[in-house]
Amino acid sequence: MELGLKGKVAIVTGGSKGLGRAIAMELAREGAKVAICSRGGRELRETAKEIQSRTAGEVLAVVADVTIPEDIEGLVQRTVRKFKRIDILVNNAGRAQPGNLETLTDELLKGDLDVKLFSMVRCSRAVVPYMRKQGGGRIININAVIGRMAVPGFMATITNRGASLAFTKALSDELAKDNILVNSVNIGFVVTPQWENIWKRLGAGLSREDFFQRMADAYVPLRRFGEPEEVSGIVAFLASERASYITGASIDVAGGMGRYV
């Protein structure tokens, strides 16, 4: 299927590893020019080099923290300076913040909202004027199925992701007149450095394999974690010409996780 992504310009936040890295790689493989950001510079530069060498695509690496408005402005300006336009924004940067009512302080909850929800708001606000001028664009929010279901110990993420789903819907409605399509891709359990950290924090002495299998058996009908490359394809599709009539959608990529109708 020809996706029509050749020459398009994409920003992928949190593109240094995990899902963001796979998404940036996929978009570059389809011929898009890609700007990636993260806080850590070394990993980011290594990933940019790897994407370049594997795809022969153009990649820009910008050290930026999505909780800092000036960093986002810098990311967007450097992208426009280098690639002259912005067609696609993938709001992917995020992290896990385990906890429950007793352990989550207001500060922890606010911090988590800042990284996940407010970063989507800020990055969208920064790119929309360019997309409007160009006559359209795509915003894809990487979200979580647990925005619509409860999983014990993840109260901050559930609260945050439910709000991110609502934000996606509201933004899609607001920007439809500008031909800017906004969608949400909801992840279940995908093997990334984030989950390696969760295992170390919550694994309670279980081997890595046992921990991952127990989580998968408890929550995922397909009985396994996904791989980042099982997510990146749908993101490239949503960014493409072939998805020109899809906006305000919420698509689960989660091995059947999320037993809601």
CA–CA–CA angle 94, 185, 155 (5° rounding): 50
Q: Give the SS3 label for residue 182.
A: strand
Residue of 4, 31, 39, 151 that binds ligand NAP (CB under 6 A): 39
19 belongs to the binding site for ligand NAP (CB under 6 A): yes
Closest CA to 258 of 184, 162, 148, 159: 148
- Binding region for ligand NAP (CB under 6 A) out of 60-68, 162-170, 201-209, 241-249: 60-68
45 belongs to the binding site for ligand NAP (CB under 6 A): no
Name the minimum Å distance from CB 254 to ligand NAP. 8
Q: Which of residues 133-172 bind ligand NAP (CB under 6 A)?
A: 142, 144
Q: Which of residues 190-229 bind ligand NAP (CB under 6 A)?
A: 190, 192-195
Residue of 5, 11, 12, 20 that binds ligand NAP (CB under 6 A): 20
40 belongs to the binding site for ligand NAP (CB under 6 A): yes
38 belongs to the binding site for ligand NAP (CB under 6 A): yes
* Residues that contact ligand NAP, how many (by CB under 6 A): 29
Closest CA to 12 of 242, 259, 238, 202: 238
Give how far the C-alpha of residue 203 lies from the chain's centroid of Cα atoms, to the nearest Å.
Answer: 25
User: Residue 167: is it exposed, middle or buried by C-beta count within 10 angstroms (0-12/13-18/19+)?
Assistant: buried
98 belongs to the binding site for ligand NAP (CB under 6 A): no
Give how far the C-alpha of residue 49 lies from the chain's centroid of Cα atoms, to the nearest Å.
Answer: 21
83 belongs to the binding site for ligand NAP (CB under 6 A): no
Residue of 49, 54, 95, 223 that binds ligand NAP (CB under 6 A): 95
Which residue is listed with tokens 């385990």? Answer: 98
Neighbours of 10 (CB within 10 A): 29
**Integer angstrom CA distances of residue 127 from 67, 73, 139, 254:** 16, 9, 9, 28
Residue of 187, 216, 234, 253 that binds ligand NAP (CB under 6 A): 187
Give how far the C-alpha of residue 55 lies from the chain's centroid of Cα atoms, to the nearest Å.
Answer: 21
Chain residues binding ligand NAP by CB under 6 A are 13-14, 16-20, 37-40, 65-67, 92-95, 115-116, 142, 144, 187, 189-190, 192-195
